Amino acid sequence: MRNAPLRHRLAALFNIRREEAVPVLLAVFFFFCILTALMVLRPARDALGMQRGIETVRWLFIGTALVTLLANPLFGWLVSRFRRLRFIAVTYLFFAATLVGFHLLLVFAPDAIGTTSGQVFYVWFSVFNLFATMLFWALMADRFSLEQSKRFFALIAVGGTLGAIFGPWLAAVLAQSLGTSALLLVSAGFLMLALCAAWAVARSQAGKDAPDARSCVSHDAPHDRASAAYVVIGGSAWQGLRAVFRSPYLLGIAGYVIIMAIMATLLYFTRLQMVAALGEDMDQRTAIFARIDLITQVATLLLQAVIAGRLMKRLGVHVTLILLPLTVALGFIGLAIAGTLAALIVFEAAFRAIQRALTRPARETLYTVVSREDKYKSKAFIDTFGYRGGDVAGAQLEGALGRLGMGLAGLASLAIPLALAWAALGLWLGRTQQRIDAGRESSFSPAPQAVPDLLSTTMRQR
């Protein structure tokens, strides 16, 4: 092994076969571009969102949820009417065009930029964030099989972490020399690179031997996923929403996402409250937020590069899905006991690292066993409105607890039972995925007597 070429040693380290290397690297680059495009703009989003205080952010969460709900039928219509590559291109081109529009507004009408327009940008960015990442993972679930997803979805997520590190660094470097408005064009440029990568991933041959869940009722040959880039999915624009409420499995995924969003929001507003209590100095707040983000990104990168892929492969999706709920339960217990900013930083770093390195890739594997229509339509509803609905619920819960005068102990008394229910749901989802996949494999296995019967029939005809 010591004398093996570097590419072979890397393939062995990350559990990737030689023919899978190019599609996986393309997917890593794709996610890198998406997260760079998003993270270049996030500092501006956060600064604009807090202009009128924390209470305003809660209302911005509601506005984001409403806009997301309105956007879902339009996205469902695109999925129903256009080929996969085309509706992916339309979505990314739309967001790139709006970035150019915001840039022109900043350059030619800077006086028009105020609190209201800043809040519009906050909501728009939040919707952009959800749809951009949702489309990426939908394409990944469509291109790769369940077995492949367990091996390298965590590695693909490394590309996103690198983009999340590179984006803020690039923003800090370019903001002073080129101005904040130029960052919008930089983000649009990376979005175009992401679109090129999406085209390359969709055209690649990885996962072509994995069957499409929609065709599992037949005994035909496995569907070639590369050719699916030119197939119109069809159906209704509201099909994804209806499918979620008809399928216990999809409804379970939606419940898992909603609870995760509630927990993330409770933690987010706890951080805002603690940092706000330190004073109103903007530089101090920025430094604290940057320190938390740095610790989180480094921990995430270590988990993704070294542990995540092998952990999911060995322990299974069901065990991986319960790691974050258990972390949340323990984290809120520790936060209620310690009650310090240092404890919060450790908790949030652990939460974000496990969420991005382990939970997100594991959750995305859940979609590898559903139909192509559900991969895009139902996933769009779950990952956008479901997530934002959880944000709204979490923000209102945190606000209600604050108005009742309940501190961290009251927050923990709510979060811990919810985390345990979340863990049980994750365990059920992983087990259900195994049963669905086992059913798919058996439906594609030919009957044992099929070949002998065919041979004997041929002999009789002769």
Dump the DSSP string for 392-441: HHHHHHHHHHHHTT--HHHHHHHHHHHHHHHHHHHHHHHHHHHHHHHHHH
Give me the amino acid identity at 178. L
Which of 197-201, 224-228, 388-392, 399-403 shows the highest mean pLDDT?
A: 197-201
Q: Treating both helix axes as pointing N-terminal to C-terminal, what angle do 180-203 and 115-143 enclose, rounded to 10 degrees? A: 20
C-alpha span between 64 and 82 (Å, rounded)? 26
Mean pLDDT confidence for 166-189: 80
Query: What is the four-CA torsion angle of 91, 73, 359, 425, rounded to 10 degrees?
Result: -170
Which of 76-90, 106-120, 204-218, 221-235 shows the highest mean pLDDT?
A: 76-90
Predicted pLDDT of residue 157: 82
Domain definitions of the chain by residue range: 14-206+233-439
**Could you tell me the CA-to-CA distances from 233 to 78, 237, 333 in Å, in that order?**
10, 11, 47
Residue 176, class by beta-carbon neighbours within 10 Å (0-12 exposed, 13-18 middle, 19+ buried)? exposed
Which pLDDT tens digit goes with each residue over 16-56? 777 777 888 899 999 999 999 988 887 666 655 555 656 66
186: which 2 tokens? 């930089």
65: which 2 tokens? 């949820």
Angle at CA 99, nearest 5°, toward 59 and 102? 70
Architecture of the 14-206+233-439 domain? Up-down Bundle (1.20)
Taking the CA atoms of 414, 130, 64 and 267 in sequence, report the sign of the dihedral they define: positive
362: which 2 tokens? 């594991």
Q: Do residues 127 and 67 touch, judged by C-beta distance below 8 A? A: yes
Taking every pair of C-alpha atoms in the chain, what is the biggest distance, in angstroms?
92
Question: Looking at the whole model, is its pTM more than 0.85?
Answer: no
298: which 2 tokens? 């480094």
Q: Do residues 194 and 34 touch, judged by C-beta distance below 8 A? A: yes
Which pLDDT tens digit goes with each residue over 315-333? 778 888 999 999 999 999 9
Predicted pLDDT of residue 190: 95
Of 73-82, 97-106, 141-150, 387-396, least confident by mean pLDDT is 73-82
Tell me the β-bridge partners of 232.
Answer: 83
